[in-house]
Amino acid sequence: MSFYIPYALPHVTIGMVTGAFESIFEGEVSVNETIRQDRDTGRDFKLFWINIKDANKHIDFFTQEIKDAGFAKITYERTKGQDRYWKVKLNEKTDKPDTAFVPRILPRN
């Protein structure tokens, strides 16, 4: 199964994500990250892509939760008595149609 975290704070590491997913799903977890900047605030944030092989029974519930609600929450730490969590979504590959580039005239505005 393949998932992604569309927004994580800059202090979150691959090790934190791997540890959280391994402790819940008990499978082989591989994680990749990308650092981006918020276009409105200019602050850095991270995106994570998670691939899980040989997961336990919780993966079916987790996947169904994402399909029903659009995302699922996974807590990763507690700060000042509040749980911090990631919103996790399914990483569904979409086939984009091949469109050839066509030169065109752009408007001034």
- Checking if the pLDDT of 98 tops 80, the result is no
| Residue 41 belongs to a domain | yes
| Residue 99 belongs to a domain | no
| Residue 85 belongs to a domain | yes
| Residue 30 belongs to a domain | yes
| Residue 62 belongs to a domain | yes
pTM confidence score: 0.79
Supply 33's token pair.
């990250």
What average pLDDT does the structure give for the chain? 90
- Checking if the pLDDT of 95 tops 60, the result is no
Q: What is the pLDDT of residue 107?
A: 86
Helix axes 58-69, 14-25, angle to 10 degrees: 110
* Closest-CA residue to 16 (of 44, 46, 59): 46
Q: Each residue of 18-61: pLDDT tens digit?
A: 999 999 998 889 999 999 999 999 999 999 999 998 888 889 99
| Residue 21 belongs to a domain | yes
| Residue 101 belongs to a domain | no
Domains identified in the chain, total number: 1
| Residue 69 belongs to a domain | yes
Domain range holding 60?
A: 2-90
Q: Is 49 exposed, middle or buried (0-12, 13-18, 19+ CB in 10 A)?
A: middle
Supply 79's token pair.
């700060």
